[in-house]
Amino acid sequence: MPATPEIVNRTEQPYVAIRTQVTMSQLGGVGARLGEVFGWLAARSVPPAGAPFFKYNVIDMARELEVEAGVPIAAAVKGDLHVFAGVLPAGQYATLTHVGHPDDLINATQDLLDWAAGQA
């Protein structure tokens, strides 16, 4: 059963992530980067503070997307050259929870974009 997109209000949230540039045909591979992030956290004894997420900084479905495979944490940490630390600012976010194979992220991304366009 597909998830329904929604607008949520969020407080500021520290996180760590790996940022990558991919084409739409490569998007399914972004999910594999989460294992690297979880491994980085485990090596530093930093527990996750919520579900992993994908943050889309650039969405150009005809060319390239810039995507972060991230994990929320309770308090800010210092990143390195491989995994960076950031903070999601407080505010309203359009969200869609995808449960399933990473290859289906292409359709999930399109569903979220179509839904958002209909909200304007």
Residue 106 tokens, joined: 């292409």
Residue 101 is assigned to a structural domain of this protein: yes
So what's the pLDDT on residue 70? 97
- Quick: pLDDT tens for 88-99: 999 998 888 888
Neighbours of 40 (CB within 10 A): 19
How many whole angstroms separate alpha carbon 59 and alpha carbon 27?
A: 11
Give the global pTM.
0.79
What CATH number does residue 93 fall under?
Answer: 3.20.80.10
Cβ atoms of 87 and 10 closer than 8 Å? no
Spans of the chain, pLDDT less than 50: 1
Give the chain's domain count.
1
pLDDT of residue 95: 87
Residue 1 lies in a domain: no
Task: State the pLDDT at residue 62.
Answer: 87
